Structure 1
Amino acid sequence: MLRKAPALFGIIYKAGDIYSSTRIVSPVYYANSKYAPGLREYIEDKGFDAVVSTHLFPMEALTAIRKKGGFNIPCYGVLTDYTCIPFFGETKLDGYFIPHEELRDEIAKCGIPKEKLFATGIPVSKKFAVHESKAAARAALGLPADKPVMLIMSGGVGCGNILELCDTLERCSSGDYLACVLTGHNASLKQSIDERFASAGRIKTVSFTKQVNLYMNAADVMLSKPGGLTSTEAAVANVPLVQMLTYAACEAKNIAFFTSHGLSIRAANEREAVSAMWSLTDDKQKAEKMRAMQRACINPNAADDIAAKVAEGWI
């Protein structure tokens, strides 16, 4: 749906947001409560000391388990967008780890008691906090050391008008560069880009890879849609960031948070995106200012902090 009908997804998300404001138990809760007995049996059979969920659906199932009673294993939720998502407020867990202290009031208004909210940041893999030098990262990936490198993240399934973006980049760029387009699992997008742009040698496609962190280290600038996790990974990797909004919903709130804190530049269209990427590539002072804001605002150790607090029974 994100790829084929992003506007429709935004409408559905907005409808969910409106439904949540009624405080009526949602169909989402009832749907996820159906597998709650099996989930409870699994948790109890495995003897887990605590449960941590990073997705709304299991949070809903855990809430259903709690309502049945007799289940005392601590359960926690992790919010992975910079806003309170629809139906989040109807979950009833022991505690919640949220992306930033500034979101506490917004999330509390959704129905979560403030005393259950702990501003740790969004957890990402430790590898994003390991900053290889640009030269070392490029050498490891076989990328050129003598020209600007731009990283374009299309999302795991390929979101946004990437072909138009590549065309604009080619038409509006006067200097030499290499753009690495990570196409994820979208083989047709990769083929289309290769057919149109590979011969010029300035746009290189990369299928699904586990070396995203290295590509971030190698890049002078990165362009991405504003998903909560990807945005956080970029900030932890400390790469200058341009964001394009491919659909509304939670990503609108993500991009608002990032741009308002100087963590990224928002581009309304492909031409603005290309202009912003070159601006951050050419203006080292501007890029470093953004990187400084990323270091100040985003916690690179959120995963460790969450694990430590759960293990210590801090809540």
Structure 2
Amino acid sequence: MSKDPTPKTETPLDRAHAAMLRDMDDDAARLGFYGRLADSELFLLLEQEPDGRGSITPEVLDLEGDRFALVFDSEERLSAFAETIAPYAALPGRAIAAMLAGRNAGQAPDRQIGLGLNLGVAPSSILIPAEAMDWMHAALTATPEAGHARPTGFFAPEPAPALTRALGERLAALGGSGARAWLVEADFDDGSRALTLVLSGAPEAEQERLARAVREAALFSGSDLAALTTLFVRAGSNAARDIARVGMEIDLPARKPKSVPAPPGSDPNAPPKLR
């Protein structure tokens, strides 16, 4: 019998899960669910309190030979499942995907670990197999391909509301980089034309991170535009002025001062080790 879902408030993951269930053949809704899972803070149920040395031991549920780590999108839902005070680690979904991918590498299929989300305590209760979590990690960590063609002209883009919204949300989540962004159609000297996100004034040290975020946003927007091109130009350059005249600008937050270092486990590139 299912436990009472707590809290009653619908969460973003509930909505993304419901959209996916409405049509399991809808690739956009399914990609949207994985994108939301990656960006959500999740509460991973542990066997015991973290040891303080960067290692954690997740509670693993064995269901007829399939194994699942247990996560919840709120502390209240974790408590409703555990029915007692239980140790947990709060991590972004992308960090948990990285941990599971590292743990599953080289393991026999019956020893790999998938993800159990909100089991029995929410409308978004779902078992996600290990291979799906491996795909999610691979999608999140793929390196954007560097373009070699040079742009020769810029034009107003066709409306792409889902992509524009996804780009705005993803880039805003990175915090202020001091850049400005426009969506344009661009012609290149190899004869191609592509929908392109142009970032002006982005520090060189942040360009790889921004390009990865753009690729990720395009992929998980569920649009047909996953091959979105990313272009960096100097602020105040002739190209930047041309782009500003025809492009669709995407609002980005202003640069923020450096904050205190993130707690261990919050960086998906250096997740806690599973034991």
Judge same fold: TM > 0.5, yes or no.
Answer: no
Q: Which has the higher strand share?
A: 2
TM-score by length of 1: 0.22
Which has the bigger relative contact order, CA under 8 A and spacing at least 6?
2
